[in-house]
Chains A and B, each alone.
Chain A
Amino acid sequence: MQLGHMVMAGAFGLLGAILIVNTASMPALAHIEYGPALFPGIVGWALIGLSALAALDALRATANRAASNESDGSASADDKPGMANFIMFGAFVGAPLVYVALTPVLGFLLAMPLIFGGLAFIASRKPVSAILLGIGLTLFLHVVFYQLLRVSLPWGLLTPYAGILTWR
Chain B
Amino acid sequence: MLQAVEQLADPVVLIVMFCAAVYGLTVGAIPGLTASMAVALVIPIAFFLDPVPALAGVMTLSAMAIFAGDLPGALLRIPGTPASAAYVDDAYLLMRKGQGGLALGICVVCSAIGGVIGSLVLMGAAPSIALIALQFSSYEKFFLACLGLTAAIAVSGGKWYKGGISLLLGLAVAQVGLDPVSGQPRLTFGMSELVGGLAFVPVLIGMFAVPEVLRYSLSMREIKPPPIQAIGSLLSGVRSVLMRQKRDVAQGAAVGVVIGAIPGAGADIAAYISYAISKRFSKNGDKYGTGIPDALVAPTTSNNAAVGGALIPATVFGIPGDSLTAIIIGVFFLKGLNPGPMVFIENALLINTVFMAFLLANLMMVPLGLLAISAFQRVIRVPRSLLMPTILAFCILGSFAVENTHIAIVTMLVLGLVAFAMEKFGYPLAPAILGLVLGPMLEETFLNSLIRARGNPLAFVERPLSMWLAALTLAICLAPLVLFSWRKLRSLRAE
Contact = CB atoms under 8 A, between A and B. Distances in A.
Contacts of B45: 144, 149
B184 interface: yes
A40 B187 contact: yes
Given A12-B165, A54-B162, A119 B392 contact: yes
A36 B179 contact: yes
A161 B186 CA distance: 43
A124 B384 CA distance: 9
Contacts of B446: 39
A145 B397 contact: yes
Interface string A73-114: 000000001001110110111011101100000000000100
A34 B447 contact: yes
Contacts of B220: 84-85, 88, 123
A81 B422 CA distance: 18
Interface residues of B, number: 60
A27 B179 CA distance: 12
Given A26-B184, A85-B220, A97 B413 contact: yes
Contacts of B171: 39, 43
Contacts of B164: 46, 50
A89 B393 contact: no
Q: Which of A12, A26, A27, A39 has the most CB of B within 10 A?
A: A39
Contacts of B342: none
B162 A123 contact: no
B349 interface: no
Nearest to B404: A152
A151 B220 CA distance: 33
Given A29-B181, A120-B385, A123-B385, A39 B443 contact: yes
Contacts of A12: 165, 168-169
B217 A92 contact: yes
Contacts of A163: none
A22 B217 contact: no
Nearest to A35: B182
Interface stretch (B254-262, B325-333, B359-367, B449-457): B449-457
B427 interface: yes
Nearest to A53: B161
B406 A92 contact: no
Interface in B144-179: 159, 161-162, 164-165, 168-169, 171-172, 175, 179
A54 B165 contact: yes
A126 to B, nearest CB: 8
Interface in B365-422: 383-386, 388-390, 392-397, 400-401, 404, 406, 409-410, 412-413, 417, 421-422
A96 B396 contact: yes
B133 interface: no
Interface string A4-23: 11001000100110010011
A137 B390 contact: yes
A43 B175 contact: yes
A53 B364 CA distance: 49
Interface of B: 44-45, 48, 159, 161-162, 164-165, 168-169, 171-172, 175, 179, 181-182, 184, 186-187, 189, 213-214, 217-220, 383-386, 388-390, 392-397, 400-401, 404, 406, 409-410, 412-413, 417, 421-422, 424-425, 427, 443, 446-447, 450-451, 454-455
Given A40-B187, A54-B159, A92-B217, 6 more contacts: A22-B189, A26-B184, A29-B447, A32-B450, A50-B168, A91-B217
Of all A-B residue pairs in the complex, the 8 with the closest CB atoms, nearest first, are A124-B385, A36-B179, A123-B385, A88-B217, A119-B389, A149-B48, A32-B455, A151-B401
